Amino acid sequence: MKLWLASANPQRVQTCLAYGVFTGVITNPHVVAQEGRDPKQIFADLCQLAPAAYYQLQAGTVEAMQREAETMLAIDPERMRIKVPATRNGLAVIRRLSDQGLPVMATAVPTNTWMVLAVAAGAVAVAPYSGMLQRRHILPKMEGVFAMQAIIDRQNYPVELCTGIYDATEIAQYAARGVKSAFLWDKDVETFLTQELADEAAANFNSDWAQMNAY
């Protein structure tokens, strides 16, 4: 299971990538706006640190979204990745970019039907927004993600879901259902990567290490 770091802060990215568990960086407009800098400068920095960095396009006309994608991809054609909101215009942009051989993530995908449409447009990754259904008391978030993964498995779609992790225990639950990737918010990383049982098991050898180091 691939894990992505949700952050646009270069200092946090550098710190968190050093833990060795992250495939790259994924962002949304909120975390980028929080940095208070030109997005092009931010992603130039992120591409120096991360093997891959996802940028989310602003929803708009097909032409405007295409131009924005080209601008951001030019920062680092090898490491930049594009997220496209799966609006009606966004689906057209996904098709245009995928026809250029670019790996595109569809985002703002709330339902199973919309995931099927995003895949039909050429997306190779999908960010589920099933939390929107949960807030409307329609379906729990995790059940929405599981239902999407079941369709992917049944249809043999060459696509990965990338869902948000809000509790460390969710990682194993999603992995057990076949979800191939997920992201962790940078504020949660140290908490999620701290396991008391692992620390306890390692500490059991402290007296042995003390004895070994005495020689």
Q: Of 69, 116, 61, 71, which is closest to residue 92 (Cα–Cα)?
A: 61
Percent of the chain with pLDDT over 90: 91
Lowest-confidence segment of 63-67, 121-125, 136-140 by average pLDDT: 136-140
Read off the pLDDT of each residue in 169-196 and give the average, rounded to a whole number.
Answer: 97
Rounded to an integer, what is the distance from CA 29 to the centroid of its chain? Answer: 13
CA distances from 109 to 10, 70, 119, 132, 162 (A): 28, 23, 11, 10, 11
pLDDT band for 158, please (50, 70, 90 cuts). very high
Domains of the chain: 2-195 (3.20.20.70)
Q: Residues 143-157: pLDDT tens digits?
A: 999 999 999 999 999
The answer to whether residue 76 scores a pLDDT higher than 90 is yes
Q: Residues 4-40: pLDDT tens digits?
A: 999 999 999 999 999 999 999 999 999 999 999 999 9
pLDDT recorded at residue 130? 86
Q: Residues 104-132: pLDDT tens digits?
A: 999 999 999 999 999 999 999 999 998 88
Long-range contacts of 188-193 (CB under 8 A, 24+ apart): 189/5, 189/16, 189/19, 192/165, 192/168, 193/19, 193/21
* Strands 24-26 and 53-56, sheet pairing: parallel
pLDDT recorded at residue 114? 97
The answer to whether residue 133 scores a pLDDT higher than 90 is no
pLDDT recorded at residue 137? 86
Q: Which residues form the catalytic set?
A: 83
Q: Is 130 helix (H, G, I), strand (E, B) or coil?
A: coil
Average pLDDT, the chain: 96
pLDDT recorded at residue 203? 92
The label of the residue with tokens 């990754």 reads: 125
204: Cα within 13 Å, side-chain hemisphere: 6
pLDDT band for 135, please (50, 70, 90 cuts). confident
pLDDT recorded at residue 112? 96
pLDDT band for 53, please (50, 70, 90 cuts). very high
Read off the pLDDT of each residue in 59-69 and give the average, rounded to a whole number.
Answer: 97
**DSSP-assigned letter for residue 184:** E
